[in-house]
Amino acid sequence: MLNNKLGKHTVIFNNKPEILGTGSVVGVKEGEGPLGKRFDVVLEDDTYNEKTWEKAEIKMLSEAILLSMKKAGKAEKEIDAIISGDLLNQLMSASFTARDFDVPFIGIYGACSTMTESMILGSVLVDGGYAENVVSAASSHFCTSERQFRNPLEHGNQRPPAAQWTATASGSVVIGRTNKPNIVLTCATLGKVVDPGITDAHQMGAAMAPAALDTIHTHLSDTNRDPGYYDLILTGDLGHIGKDILLDMSKNRGLDLEKVHMDCGVLLYDKDQDTHSGGSGCGCSASVFAGHIYREILEGKLKKVLLVSTGALLSTTSTLQGDSIPGIAHAIAIEVEGN
């Protein structure tokens, strides 16, 4: 038996890696939503005074990282790695953000599951004594994503009811250790690829819900916990439709998530903001966790949270070649020490 592995796919952090600080930067629409006051920065203009949407996203990610470092009280030279990813081809936002820091860079891609993938790897590095402090971050931008994946905004294409709105948002957390652990990353479950055979790229919630269920089920089984152990099991961006599918499927598996489940994509926008099935994008769970949820924890409203960012691992090429959408979800547990 390994010290730091539990059950099938769960890793245990015995040395109390902690969240030392977070940063969140969101766009105009996200600022107008129900969580608007729960982010560090709300842009007045989604270009963020840059010449291209891509440069705006890079600036948002960079700003979230700097804010998290400032709140954690860590200088650049105290950070041993930036682990980050985004939706753009070749991780353009993360790579160009990392260029501005004199810190090793670990680029990762898990589509919209990137934030938990990053936090898991960051926790491993800190827990295992491979790094003092690590930045885990992710971003997305509605306009860069639309240009790349679907249609440039200027086309004015109509969106179907199941479509989700890629969040213009970035989130970052600094993971490290102190002598008085407070908000601790206790364990995590690595997700497998699950593909339910969905071929419609506007049905992301349906494509990701089975992966979310698989990871949550594995996590609870590995840790021998009931859903009620957590105050909140928070999926990344299943949206309204995906959330319903997850709850339905959970019941069929004998798992009652109803009372503890919420989804970042559902939380981020009001129904009347016309996002249809809710938010998505790497920045969705990154900003909702680093902004709103982290504040709920600081305010004592949440003590045990399982963050389960969800990703749809399709590409435009795979869709054009008629392939279905592989889903994935990684889970990490955040628990207030002494509770």
Q: Does 146 bind a second copy (CB under 8 A)?
A: no
Contacts of 122 (CB under 8 A, 6+ apart): 17, 81, 83, 131, 134, 135, 136, 173, 175
Q: Does 193 bind a second copy (CB under 8 A)?
A: yes
Among 104, 152, 160, 197, binds a second copy (CB under 8 A): 104
Q: Does 96 bind a second copy (CB under 8 A)?
A: yes
Q: Does 249 bind a second copy (CB under 8 A)?
A: no
Q: Minimum distance from CB of 149 to a second copy (Å)?
A: 9
Q: How far apart are CA 307 and CA 316, in angstroms?
A: 28
Q: How far apart are CA 10 and CA 3, in angstroms?
A: 12
Q: Does 132 bind a second copy (CB under 8 A)?
A: yes
Q: Binders of a second copy: how many residues, by CB under 8 A?
A: 59
Q: What is the CA radius of gyration of the chain?
A: 18
CA–CA–CA angle 125, 175, 298 (5° rounding): 150
Nearer to a second copy by Cβ, of 20 and 125: the residue is 125
Query: 85, 91 in Cβ contact below 8 A?
Result: yes
Among 44, 49, 52, 73, binds a second copy (CB under 8 A): 52
Q: How far apart are CA 57 and CA 120, in angstroms?
A: 23
Map the footprint of a second copy across residues 66-95, applying CB under 8 A: 80-81, 85, 87-92, 95
Among 55, 70, 159, 303, binds a second copy (CB under 8 A): 55
Per-position b or e across 256-290, b if 16+ CB within 10 A of its CB: ebeebbbbbbbbbbeeebebbbbbbbbbbbbbbbb
How many Cβ atoms sit within 10 Å of the Cβ of residue 160?
10
Q: Minimum distance from CB of 271 to a second copy (Å)?
A: 30
Q: How far apart are CA 57 and CA 296, in angstroms?
A: 26
Nearer to a second copy by Cβ, of 54 and 63: the residue is 54
For residue 301, report the phi and psi dihedrals to the nearest 5 degrees: -85, -25
Map the footprint of a second copy across residues 301-330, applying CB under 8 A: 313-318, 321, 323, 326, 328
Nearer to a second copy by Cβ, of 33 and 122: the residue is 122
Query: 83, 68 in Cβ contact below 8 A?
Result: no
How many Cβ atoms sit within 10 Å of the Cβ of residue 167?
35
Query: Which of 2-10, 63-71, 222-230, 292-300 is the region at the interface with a second copy (rule: CB under 8 A)?
Result: 2-10
Q: Does 37 bind a second copy (CB under 8 A)?
A: no
Query: Which of 68-76, 105-113, 150-158, 255-263 is the region at the interface with a second copy (rule: CB under 8 A)?
Result: 105-113
Residues within the interface to a second copy (CB under 8 A): 2-5, 9, 11, 52, 54-55, 80-81, 85, 87-92, 95-96, 98-99, 101-111, 117, 121, 124-125, 127-132, 148, 190-193, 195, 313-318, 321, 323, 326, 328
